[in-house]
Every structure is written in structure tokens, then in C-alpha cells.
Amino acid sequence: MKKYKILLVIADGLGDRQVKQLGNKTPLEAADKPNIKELLKSSFVGLMDPIAPGIVAGSDTSHLAIFGLDPHIYYRGRGALEALGAGGEVYQGDVAFRGNFATVDQELNVTDRRAGRTIDEGNELVKELNSRIERIKGVKVRFYKGTEHRVAVVLSGSGLSDKISDTDPHEVGKKVLDSKPLDSSIEAKRTSEIVNELTKKIYEVLSASEYNKKRIEKGLPPANIVLLRGASTYLELPKIHDYAHLSAAAVSATALIKGVCKAIGMHVYTPEGATGGLDTNYDAKAEKTAQLLKEDKYNFVFLHIKATDAASHDGKAEEKVKAIEKIDRAIGKILDIAGSEYVILFTGDHATPVELKEHSGDPVPVLLYVPENIISDNLLDFNEREARKGSLRIRGLDVINLLLSYSNRASKYGA
């Protein structure tokens, strides 16, 4: 039995509904997909519920499920995964936050929740925060710069809790909030006190920063606070090498997805020009993916593309069609470079219908290509409508098992 390597391609928010602007086609129906159609000659096709029918999945919970880990057991919130993805060191029990550089007045009223959104001095400001604020009440504090105005903040130490409220008032004109404990534990009380002291220090450091003085001189809103939200405790996750015996690499530019991949022990690569947006460099991602597939040390390569979801959240149907066409070309490029002797699964992590602009609980089309000897569903196109005719009706948690089985890498369950 030949053991195939595995290529998993996830187009974020791929699933959709019929779109008026596309003549009642879905973006997948409207898109030209010659390479994906070629795969259909030896593929199973069908529908996947990322979590369960009707459950509106986030990208983190759905990726965990697709990677074989039940989010009901392993998911503890987004913050710690995103911090990990942004390059943070995060360990079991650490509490992480999603943060925004923002602008406040002297009374700490928020005047701009994103400090103008583009913050060229972000790296320097994060460096200043890290050098001037090291520990509070014995707890280590680390800042990590994300994209645009985003900053991840990690508290490391014992006796911390994520059961505390945000300092982010989520609205302009309101004052930065005191973090409050959300249960009666000593840990929550202590963590909220640390966060409130941290907020004061952040303001002291940032409002005194020369970089912000220069921003004010240029007429830009100073990035003089970091608003914190979504406290989450980091739970050490099982590693894909252990539970699925896969040596896995991931290609992604999205902090949250990179965090999930790192947390389960994948090696994560972000090639030059990969942005996690509509302007991402598809060629660079395809080339990196192909190169990793060819490397002896990996037998599982995961390519994540965020553009489809980004287009959906913006309600841009045509952009979503274009993104799908570029993903099709990227798949073509990968196979051109690395050959097509792989088990390939292409799907979305959830639906983000462009007319809704939000995630939905709709099932997502899934395509499972096996190079030889399967009874192919022989569908002529791959989209939401055609997929109903296919033979697969699975859940996210089934994906890894299907990939292991059809790549001849599964262990028998029982005797």
C-alpha cells in the first residue's frame, strides 16, 4: 500500500448561498475552476458541517475540529491562540488578550478605537512597552504586534484567571473600562487588578513616547493606550504528530489560524507577500506549499487562504469569485510543481455568505481527491448545489480520519 502525502487546502468562509449580484449563483458556481474540476475525475464530493448542522462556527473552533480536536473539549477562546499566531510565547495557564492600539484623551475617554488604524511606529511602541513594563505583581507581561492596530498581550505566571471583563469599552466616546472579576475566585480578582494596573502603565509609557509625540506633530492620533478584550487561558493542546502521526506544515498569514496550527505542533510558514487579505500573494503561498510537500520531513501540508472570508465579510461577491479563481490557480501551481500524487482535501472552514456578511451555520462543500482506484463521484462541478449530489456527508471532526484512511496512513481501531 502506497502511503500518500496529504494536502489540505482551506478557503476561509468558502461556503455561500445564491447571490443576486451573481445571477443567483454562488461564488463557487460563478468561479472558473479548471484545476479543481480536473481533480473531480477522482474525487469524493459532499457537504461538511464544520461542527454540527446549524452551528455557526468560528475559524478557530472549525479548524480545531478539522484538525481532529473536538473544540467542545479543547477550545478556550481566541486570545491565546491569536497571541501564539502573532509570534508570542504562550504556555499552559498563561492568560492572553486581543488588544488594539487606540487613542484616549486625558480622562481616558476613547477618541479612536484604532488610533488611525495604520500605525507605522507599531513595532517601536511594542518594544518600548516590553522594555518599560516587565512584571506586575510578579506576573510577566509581554506585548506582541499583530497586523495594523492589533497587539496581543500575554500574562505569564501562576494563579491567573481568564474570568475577567474587557478594558475595551467597544465604543468611541466611552472611558476605558476597569477590568472586573467575572467569578468570585481569588485568581480572577487578582488578574483583574493586574490588568487595571497594566492599563495605567501602558498609558504612562505610551503617552510619554517620543513616537507618539511625533504622531501628534504629524496630525495623527497618538497610539496612547492598548484596549484589551477576550481574555483567554492557554490550554496546551495535543500535538498532531502524536494523535495522528503526521509531520505537518502549515502555510498561513492569519494570526488566529497560525496560532491554532502552532498549538497543535505544526511548523508554520508565512511566505513574503502573504497578507491574510484580498491582496495576498497566491503565487508565493502556492510555491511554499509545493516546496513543503516535496520535503521529506513533511507528510501533511496545510494551505490556508483567508481572502474568501475577507471578501464575504465586506459583502464583495465579485472579489470572492476572484479569490476562488486564484485559489484554483494556486492549486494548479502546486500540482505543477509538486505533482499530483497526493490525497487532497479542499473545503472551507465555515460558510460566510456574502449577502449576510457574517458566518452562518450552512454546510460547506468538500472535495476529497484520491489519486487512484476510488469510485469517484464524477461530478462535473464543485459548488454548494452539486455537492449535494456527492457521497460525502461529514463533520469537521471526520476530516483527519478520512485523510489518514485514503492516504493509507490510518491505524486500525480494534483488531
Binding interface with its own copies (CB under 8 A): 1, 17-20, 26, 47, 51-62, 71, 75, 77-78, 230, 256, 353, 355-363, 373-375, 377, 384-385, 388, 391-394, 398-406, 408, 410-415
Query: Would you say 106 or 373 has its CB closer to its own copies?
Result: 373
Query: Would you say 311 or 402 has its CB closer to its own copies?
Result: 402
Return the C-alpha cell found at 368.
476529497
Return the C-alpha cell found at 304.
490556508
* 46 and 380 Cβ atoms separated by less than 8 Å: no
Query: Would you say 174 or 389 has its CB closer to its own copies?
Result: 389
Phi/psi for 161 (5° steps) reads -140, 145
Q: Closest approach of Cβ 233 to its own copies, in Å? A: 15
* 379 and 390 Cβ atoms separated by less than 8 Å: yes
Longest dimension (CA), the chain: 74
Q: Is 101 helix (H, G, I), strand (E, B) or coil?
A: strand
Query: Would you say 151 or 286 has its CB closer to its own copies?
Result: 151
Q: How far is CA 365 from the centre of its chain?
A: 19
Query: Would you say 112 or 362 has its CB closer to its own copies?
Result: 362
Q: What is the dihedral of CA 271, 272, 278, 279, to 10 degrees?
A: -160
Query: Would you say 78 or 316 has its CB closer to its own copies?
Result: 78
- Which among 49, 152, 70, 59 is positioned nearest to 358, based on CA atoms? 59
Q: Closest approach of Cβ 47 to its own copies, in Å? A: 7
* 274 and 285 Cβ atoms separated by less than 8 Å: yes
Query: Would you say 161 or 407 has its CB closer to its own copies?
Result: 407
* 338 and 42 Cβ atoms separated by less than 8 Å: no
Q: Closest approach of Cβ 17 to its own copies, in Å? A: 5
Q: Which positions ≥6 away from 75 have C-beta within 8 Å?
A: 60, 61, 64
Q: Closest approach of Cβ 151 to its own copies, in Å? A: 17
Query: Would you say 212 or 233 has its CB closer to its own copies?
Result: 233
Q: Closest approach of Cβ 319 to its own copies, in Å? A: 19
Q: Closest approach of Cβ 356 to its own copies, in Å? A: 6
Q: Closest approach of Cβ 155 to its own copies, in Å? A: 19
d(CA 321, CA 308): 8
d(CA 310, CA 276): 8
Q: Closest approach of Cβ 413 to its own copies, in Å? A: 5
